Chains A and B, each alone.
Chain A
Amino acid sequence: MRRAVRFSVKPYLYLLPMLVFAVGFVYYPFAKTVAQSVSVVNFRGEITGFAGLENFRYLFSRREFSIAMQNTLKLMFINVPVTLTLTCLLAWFSNRRTFLSPVYETLLALPMTVSMPVITLIFKVLLNPSVGFVNYALGLDVGWYTDRHTAMAGILMLTVWMGIGFNYVLILNAFRGIPEDLMGCALLDGAGPLRMFFSIQLPLISPTLLYVVCTNMIQAMMTSGPVMILTQGGPSRSTTTLIYLMYTAGYRSANYSLAACVSLVAFALTFGFAAALFLLEERRVHYQ
């Protein structure tokens, strides 16, 4: 799989620019977060003493934390497979061109140009239980973001929507990159469209799928913006995510060490999932 040879300083050289900025603007500030998580921090964010793992013990003992954890995991485990299936289906559907291709390909990809606050605001208006268009048009009586049974579903609809455009474009691009002759051979062998999809197209686009799954997983684990705008974590904490908890229990209450603990936990979890995905890569992802 991996090509190339002997020791060389070159790869490090090529990584250098990115590493410099990653250290300077991500890991250096992150180190401060790590320090805060094991310290006593005053309301101005200054470290005044060492706390060991006391902050973490306090965090784990809070009920909000386990709720936020469950919500975040639920969001991620639903969001990722739904987005993946939907975008794969859409890309598979639009792979073969028709006379309307330019139009609907553009329509399906355009969600990637819409910013999070804007689409969140629109969903808020559309799904308003009393004057919203969705309830009116479909004759529903659903509380959406005001009902604790449906609020999370509403957030999921929004996060899936936001992920569709970009992932669709990437997967479509991957589909179109499959060499024609490969498909032709399979066709000659009498493979049906389902067979073709699972034994030829899917393995060949698997590198892109790994990317899609991994980045969607990370984004889902980091969900906070829509929650902040739509539900403020409610009703009755049904949409409180880890990162949202970080804001409310942490920064907004000037409890910096708690915020640091939450972001560390989120980081560790996300990192663990990513590592697991890459173990899968070695067995399942097919590079030409």
Chain B
Amino acid sequence: MRKILKGILGLLIGCLLMFPVFYGLAGAFKTPAEFIGWPPTVLPQSFANLSNFRAVFTQAPMLRYLLNSLITACLTSVVRLAMALLAAYAFAFFEFRGQKVLFFLLLGTMMLPADTLLITNYQTVSRLGLLDTYLGICIVSFVGASQMFMLRQRFLTSPTAVREAAQLDGCGDLRFIVSILAPMCWGTLVILFMQSFVAQWNTYLWPLMVTNTTLMRTVQVGITMLTTIEGTNYETILAGSAVAMVPAILLFVALRRSMNRTMAGGSTVG
């Protein structure tokens, strides 16, 4: 009985937290008059009003934008996590000169407003000949200090015995990372992948700067293009945002089970 009550309480809290998003999604089905009408409503008069969505897909090549975003978000996250994994491994399992300095040097990359770096990075990317390419969109986001930091925290809590046993067995560093450490921290890795994916999926300013052909735009840039065509039309933007949000949510639901996987217990037993 208490469990049922607790479950229902959890559901209520969850719905309350997500209310703004539900409200926004419902707004995508509203007509302009409904949207600013009084009294304000949560649900649209009918969910059959798809004109906003039609506008999203006809005013811009939205499918192509979605594909571009998918490619860049995946590429960025994979590279970022791979580099962060290596760096975190060095920080957690080695003791070396300059360890603290290097750690703070990398952590410091999070403390600079990205926009102060835009102009110089544009020049660099242009000099590398990467304008209007996927790599050009991704390359400035390859440094994932946040992910490195979290993985270090995770590694430091993993039992020392695991690495010692692996070393005794003559297991090299890379093999240890790939076949023991990564599976052990799989939950954390998946969460960080998701975080990284969403962050890249949602970047706007940089992809706008480095792409100049329509075919290379990403979905967030596409959404803002909806504003310039018809003036600020909240319903259309919300519909565009809803379209942009769906892939991230789907990925999230698909990965949810793996996020919960922790193998801290049991790894040194047997």
Contact = CB atoms under 8 A, between A and B. Distances in A.
Given A116-B202, A117-B204, A26 B256 contact: no
Given A17-B86, A118-B245, A123-B20, A29 B111 contact: no
A208 B153 contact: yes
Contacts of B139: 21, 25
A125 B234 contact: yes
Contact of A29 (B40, B117, B188): B117
A164 B18 CA distance: 11
Interface string A192-235: 00000000000010011011001100100110100000000000
B23 A122 contact: yes
How many B residues are at the interface, by size bracket? 35 or more
A5 B95 CA distance: 7
Contacts of A93: 6, 10, 13
Interface in A12-29: 12, 14-15, 17-19, 21-22, 24-29
B262 A131 contact: no
Contact of B40 (A26, A45, A131, A260): A131
Interface stretch (A50-58, A105-113, A147-155): A105-113
Given A27-B105, A215-B110, 11 more contacts: A4-B94, A24-B124, A29-B121, A104-B14, A105-B256, A112-B194, A117-B220, A207-B153, A222-B111, A263-B116, A287-B157
Interface of B: 3-4, 6-8, 10-11, 13-15, 17-18, 20-21, 23-24, 27, 35-42, 83-84, 86-87, 89-91, 93-96, 99, 102, 104-113, 115-117, 119-121, 124, 139-140, 142-143, 145-146, 148-150, 153-154, 156-160, 163, 173, 187-188, 191, 194-195, 198, 201-202, 204, 220, 234, 237-238, 241, 244-245, 248-249, 252-253, 256, 259-260, 262, 264-265
